[in-house]
Amino acid sequence: MSFDPSLLAKARHLVVFTGAGISAESGIPTFRDRLSGLWERYEASELASAEGFRRDPALVWGWYEWRRTLVHHAQPNPGHQAIARLAALVPKLTLITQNVDDLHERAGSREALHLHGRLDALRCFACTRPALEIPKPDEPNEGRRVEPPRCTRCNGKLRPSVVWFGEQLPGDVLRAAFTAAEECDLLLSIGTSGVVEPAARIPRLALAAGATVLHLNTQPVAVQGEREFALAGPAGELLPALLRQAFGADA
Ligand code: BV8
Ligand code: ZN
């Protein structure tokens, strides 16, 4: 049985849950599914972790600087834009993202719940206080080592305010995400491999609470039961088509 687009038009509370795949068509490498994927190129545990930063701060800071410049030069794609339009088409929308880029915001989405923090915020690795000014990122140069800037208060090294592996997700954001997943009647899970915990629990929570879940992914996604569906294809094409089917040609 295939997904009925009218469910989107009838949704009272829609949750949109995104992963790295929603930014792929903006030219931001995902973590696993492409040969040049960041995780293929580096050990994620080596780079996206406090131990990695302690061991080689210049390599980790250089990786984040490269990613910040990629995002800085990237544009939101039709997938991000369709999600931004959805907010005006349904009574209530909660956007939850695993991504640390600001492409949802630049597409016009407001109040995205960033489970894993954001690249464009920095804090001190030593005293944890937020950095007051964000240095302009250097030009992209994959894997170049760059010494991290220093905290103006304690001279500690600055780090990106993202959630590294082994670090806890911000409790208030995670609770808001879980609550939305349990309250919604429809959840779109877009561009995520569903590997990273606890974020990967979100579609499962929605399904268990009786919602319908639709996965949008270039790869096939295994679904079970009569309330879980999957569409295979790029989000930048599937989402605009879904809005047209649900809300009419000019949605
Ligand atoms: C925690 C910020 C506990 C940083 C990220 C076993 C061993 C070791 C650890 C664990 C383990 N089991 C569980 C863990 C814990 C660990 C974890 O889940 N590890 C995984 C690898 C197994 N989790 C943690 O450590 C979390 N913290 O558990 O803390 C704790 C408790 C108490 C006290 C202290 C600690 C923290 C996890 C957060 C890590 N940080 N990001 C940064 O970005 O640098 S996660 C990072 O990877 C991304 O943010 C993203 O969330 C994730 C990658 O996942 P996806 O978004 O799904 O992206 P991916 O590339 O995987 O997939 C892309 C998908 O898109 C693919 O399916 C592809 O087919 C599809 N696609 C591609 N193109 C398109 C598309 N779809 C549609 N359209 C397209 N065009
Ligand atoms: Zn400091």
Torsion of CA 99, 103, 109, 114, to 10 degrees: 20
Indicate the pairing of strand 158-162 with strand 117-124.
Answer: antiparallel
DSSP state of 126: T
- CA–CA dist 99, 114 (Å, integer): 7
Indicate which ligand has the atom closest to the C-alpha of 153: 2
Is the pTM of the predicted complex or chain greater than 0.85? Answer: yes
| Cα gap 251→249, rounded to integer Å | 6
CA of 248 to the centre of ligand 1 (A): 35
Q: Which CATH class is domain 29-73+118-162?
A: alpha beta
Q: Terminal CA-to-CA distance of the chain, rounded, Å?
A: 25
Query: In this structure, which residue's CA is closest to atom 19 in ligand 1?
Result: 196
167 φ/ψ sector (left φ>0, alpha ψ -120 to 50, else beta): beta
Does residue 116 carry a catalytic annotation? yes
Sequence spans of domains, the chain: 1-27+76-116+168-251, 29-73+118-162
Assigned CATH for 1-27+76-116+168-251: 3.40.50.1220
184 marked ligand binding residue: no
Task: Tell me what pLDDT residue 250 has.
Answer: 87
From the alpha carbon of 18, which atom of ligand 1 is closest? 56
Q: What pairing do the DSSP bridges indicate for beta strands 13-18 and 186-190?
A: parallel
Counting ligand 1 atoms within 8 A of each CB, the residue from 25, 39, 196, 202 with the most, and so the one to mutate, is 196
Q: Residue 133 burial (CB < 10 Å; 0-12/13-18/19+)?
A: exposed
pLDDT per position as a tens digit, 176-204: 999 999 999 999 999 999 999 999 999 99
Ligand at shortest distance from the CA of 43 = 1
pLDDT digits (tens, 9 = 90+) for 60-90: 898 898 889 889 999 999 999 999 999 999 9
User: 100 labelled as ligand-binding?
Assistant: yes
